[in-house]
Amino acid sequence: MKKKVVALLLSALMVVSSLAGCGAETTGSGDASANAGGNAGAAPVADGEVQEITWMFWDDLEATEDLISQGYKQVIDRFNEEYAGVYHCTPITTNLEEYDTKLNALVAAGDTPDLFICNPGPNLTQYVNAGIAADLTDILQNQNADWYGTFTDGIFERITYDGKIMAVPTCFAAACVFYNTQIFEEADAEVPTTYDELLASCQKIQDAGYTPISCSAGTAWCLSMIAGYLCDREGGPDNLAQVNAGEIDWTSETFIAAGYKLQELSQYFQATAAGDSNDQATANFYNGEAAMLVQGSWAIGQINGNNPDFEANCGVFQFPAIEGGADPNRMIVKTDNLVMSATTEHQDAVVALMKMFTDETAQKYIAEVGGKIPVTNVEVDYAVAPAQLSYINDILQNMTGTLGFYNESLASVEAGSTFDNAMVDIFLGNKTPEDAFGSVQTFYEDNVWNQ
Amino acid sequence: MEKILRDKKAIVLFIAPAFIVFTLILLIPVVQVVYYSLCSYDGLMKPTLIGFKNYKDLLLKDETMRIALKNSIFFMLFSAISQQLIGFVLAVLLTNIKKGRNFFKNVYYLPCVLSSAALGLLWAFMFNPKMGLNQILGVFGIEGPLWLVESSGLIPLPMWVIAFVALWQYVGQTMMLYMAQITGLSTELYEAAYIDGASKAQAMRYITLPLSKPMLKTTLSLNCIGSLKFFDLVYNMTQGGPNHRTDVLATHLYQQGFKFFKYGYASAISVVLMILCLIVTVVIDKSIKIDNYEV
């Protein structure tokens, strides 16, 4: 009998131990503020014990050549040094293409990192709606008013939901056209201000034996950034606002016209654009194989980090106007944002890390080394900053309005992906602009407007 | 021992751990997946029942699902035919050579034990337009195609490329299984056949082939089920691109679940995948009749 009891106990133990770790419970009450408030400062940590936090980021901090990523690594190192024995941060890193899927897997497993980087728009919205992101309004506006006061005006606009601030930005970037001055000179091409001039310059560059534009359709958002600019130049900002509100169709005139222009422009992309990743397309540009690259100003850190000699030959101009189209001085802009997990048990440590990401040292680095635009009112020495940052600042002086990435300005992550795929279909020649935008229309009819 | 096995309580006790573990890690998740497939479920909030909407959307509206289904079926047919043929021929050849048998056996089987993720990346580099195969072709003045990018045709070029890489990786496994079967056949049968005047080809046709049928059933089932749920090489070589042209059921499932948080919808894909696997298994089981020979 005794043996049977022992055997039974051992069997039960085996089953239980095999299931250990499978019991992760997903978060999500749907009430972000309740979550954040409920856990505020509730760190069940014994005195003298180091509070361990995790931060998830979309680049390998050890291997990266990107200057912005290197700056983030310095922040983590500084944090771990300054708070040695009190707090410690372990970064969780992955490549950009797989970032969202890996983060979502961790979230779904109930293992949300204490702090993670996030794009604005539907990506952030889904974490806000699911109660994954903590409400930072009280932390910023009441508990740390001095810190909050350092941020530039309006920087929280796209990360505020119903008056609640759900993230902290670390840097700001604007999408422009980077160009190789040497190739332009050699091909006798002009810096274009209109779409027709852009086509003329592309032709001259192609005739001179260079690839006019380096673009990644393998990383679809790169292609859809060009498509987004074309849509906006054709009929923005009204067309985007109206289509999201269901007042016009995706098959309306401005979108179709933008589709045909994308088709026209894509004949000047490199032959491998369909499969090239964002990194490969950017490398084509800074290695001198292509004359132009349409990218956000985060690419400055990547370009100068990988090929410092190229900085002197890298010019910047704003995406050209379409004659008879809409306002040409609107810019695609976005911020990198830090989102605090609503379930973190180490809120003080996370806030300390967020402060370090936005302190004077980090923000000066962002501008003066990385070439991105700081989010705080820090004094920047433009004499030491990358030359491209000054060009972008000049362009921003004429800016009349902003828009987010097109795929991040739509109804959901899937809507953005549907738009991206439609643009890739136009580029590949698999669909006409009418059919491609027709597929976005169908998605909106089925999943957005009629829901 | 016999006394213990007559004790029903002891039997229950011995079976219980395996039964409980099997139920918890297989049966319950399968039932859960079937339930989630009938729900709108984002993995974050509570699932809400929506009936068969996921299945309707999946089978009637989802363009990527049609591509993924077509690619998965192509992949299954290609793998089944090519691996059976080449695997069997290699097995016959290797069982008939005396010198270098172990060497070649290891060479053919080696890719099977390597990580698919590493192999996927390796082959992605090999087929990258700026390195690998196209550079070699360039030496001879040949402009190679965009192996992993071409998107035209019913079955686009990248699918053929991935299918060939999968064949290279897994043919060793089929070969080993056939070798195990063939080496287990009695030599007396062959000796008797040769005494009766049979040639080597006739011996193969009338002895080796029919007696390998049980292994045909096993390897064909493994090939087909493995191909239907194939994920790693596709994900590592093309991520389903360009624009979903190389998506298979498993990559589509992964994207819907982990990129769009549509766990209900992803569960419906996995149920379809499970049903396909079951159908294929039943069809193979019913269509291959094994005669009992007295060996």
DSSP A289: S
Tell whether B8 lies on the interface with A, counting CB pairs under 8 A. Answer: no
Looking at the domain assignment, is residue A189 inside a domain? yes
- The arithmetic mean of pLDDT across residues B124-133, rounded, is 85
- Which residues on A lie below 8 Å from B241 (Cβ)? 218, 275
- Asked if residue A5 is part of any domain, the answer here is no
Residue A133 has pLDDT above 60, yes or no: yes
Residue B13 with chain A: CB contacts under 8 Å: 4, 7-8, 11
Q: Residue A4's pLDDT band (boundaries 50, 70, 90)? A: low
**A208 Cα to chain B: minimum distance (Å):** 21
Does residue B13 lie in a domain region?
no
Interface contact B242-A218, CB threshold 8 A: yes
Please tell me whether residues A427 and A438 are part of one structural domain: yes
By Cβ distance, the residue of B17, B243, B260 closest to A428 is B243
Q: Which residue range(s) make up the domain with B105?
A: 69-260+274-287
B18 and A CB contact within 8 Å: no
Q: Please list every residue in chain B whose beta carbon sits closer than 8 Å to the beta carbon of residue A446.
A: 57, 61
Percent of chain B scored above 90 by pLDDT? 64
Residues B243, A107: C-beta atoms closer than 8 Å: no
Residue B169: inside a domain? yes
Q: Using a pLDDT cut of 70, give the percent of chain A over it.
A: 89
Structural domain boundaries enclosing A56: 45-172+334-388
Of the candidates B129, B123, B243, the one whose C-alpha atom is nearest the C-alpha of residue A289 is B129
CB proximity B63 to A under 8 Å: yes
pLDDT score recorded for residue A20:
39
pTM comes to: 0.80
Closest CA to B41 of B270, B260, B275, B274: B260
Point out the least confidently predicted range of A70-74, A100-104, B164-168.
A100-104
Q: In this predicted structure, what is the pLDDT of residue A413? A: 86
Say how far residue B194 (Cα) sits from the centre of its chain: 38
The amino acid present at B180, given as its one-letter code, is: A
Chain A positions touching B259 (Cβ under 8 A) are: 100-101, 104, 413, 417
In a domain, B269, yes or no: no
Residue B60 lies in a domain: no
Residue A97, domain member (yes or no): yes
Residue A380 counted as domain residue: yes
Judging contacts by C-beta atoms under 8 Å, the chain A residues touching residue B255 are 101
Phi/psi-derived region of residue B227, left when phi > 0, alpha when psi is between -120 and 50, beta in every other case: alpha
pLDDT for A257 equals: 97
Q: Looking at residues B74-101, what average pLDDT do you find?
A: 93
Q: How many domains does chain B have?
A: 1
ipTM > 0.85 for the complex: no
What is the mean predicted confidence (pLDDT) over A209-218?
94
Question: What one-character DSSP code corresponds to residue A376?
Answer: B
- Asked, for residue B116, whether it belongs to a domain, the answer is yes
Mean pLDDT of B101-109: 93
pLDDT tens-digit series, residues A36-74? 333 334 444 445 689 999 999 999 998 888 889 999 999
Pair A327, A195 in one domain: yes
Both A350 and A288 in one domain: the answer is no
Question: A79 pLDDT exceeds 90?
Answer: yes
- Are residue A160 and residue A298 in the same domain, yes or no? no
> Within a domain: residue B47?
no
Q: Let me know: does A187 contact A311? Beta carbons within 8 Å.
A: no
Above 50 in pLDDT, residue A21? Answer: no
Note whether A162 and A51 are same-domain residues: yes
Number of domains in chain A: 2
In this structure, which amino acid lies at residue A48?
A: G
Shared-domain flag, residues A284 and A321: yes
A52 and A85 inside one domain: yes
Q: Which tens digit of pLDDT belongs to each residue from A145-183?
A: 999 999 998 899 889 999 999 999 999 889 999 999 999
- Is B44 in contact with A272 (Cβ distance < 8 A)? no
How many alpha carbons lie under 13 Å from residue A206 in its C-beta half-sphere?
16
Interchain contact B254–A (C-beta under 8 A): yes
> Which string of b and e fits A1-23 if b means at least 16 CB within 10 Å?
eeeeeeeeeebeeebeeeeeeee
Alpha carbons within 13 angstroms on the beta-carbon side of residue A164 total 19
Residue A216: predicted pLDDT: 93
Q: Is the pLDDT of residue A365 over 90?
A: yes
Mean pLDDT in residue range A94-121 = 89
Tokens coding A68: 């912005």
Instruction: Say yes or no for a CB contact (<8 Å) between B45 and A30.
Output: yes
Q: Which long-range contacts (CB under 8 A, 24 or more apart) does B288-295 make?
A: B288/B213, B288/B216, B288/B217, B288/B220, B290/B213, B290/B214, B290/B217, B291/B210, B291/B213, B293/B210, B293/B211, B295/B185, B295/B186, B295/B189, B295/B211
Name the residue with higher pLDDT: A444 or B24: A444
Q: What is the pLDDT of residues A261-314, one digit of tens each?
A: 999 999 999 988 988 889 889 999 999 999 999 999 889 988 988 999 999 999
Is A384 inside any structural domain?
A: yes
pLDDT in tens, A303-348: 988 999 999 999 999 999 999 999 999 999 989 999 999 999 999 9
Pair A349, A421 in one domain: no
Domain assignment present for B239: yes
Q: Would A149 be classed as within a structural domain? A: yes
**Structural domain contains residue A408:** yes
> A317 and A278 in one domain?
yes
Task: Verify that A221 and A314 share a domain, yes or no.
Answer: yes
Residue A247 lies in a domain: yes
Rounded Cα–Cα distance for residues A414 and A153 (Å): 31
Residues A325 and A344 occupy one common structural domain = no
- The reply to whether A264 and A319 lie within a common domain is yes
| B11 → chain A, closest CA residue | A4
Which of A340, A400, A338 is CA-nearest to residue A151? Answer: A338
Using a CB-CB cut-off of 8 Å, the residues of chain A touching B258 are 101-102, 104-105, 108
CATH number of the domain within which B198 lies: 1.10.3720.10
Least trusted range by pLDDT, from A11-20, A192-201, A429-438: A11-20
CA-nearest residue of chain B to A99?
Answer: B259
* Contact assignment for A413 to B259 by CB distance below 8 Å: yes
Instruction: Examine residue B91 and state whether it is found in any structural domain, yes or no.
Output: yes
> Is the Cβ pair A271, B146 closer than 8 Å?
yes
Dihedral of the alpha carbons of A102, A104, A108, A111, in degrees to the nearest 10: 60
pLDDT of residue A23: 37
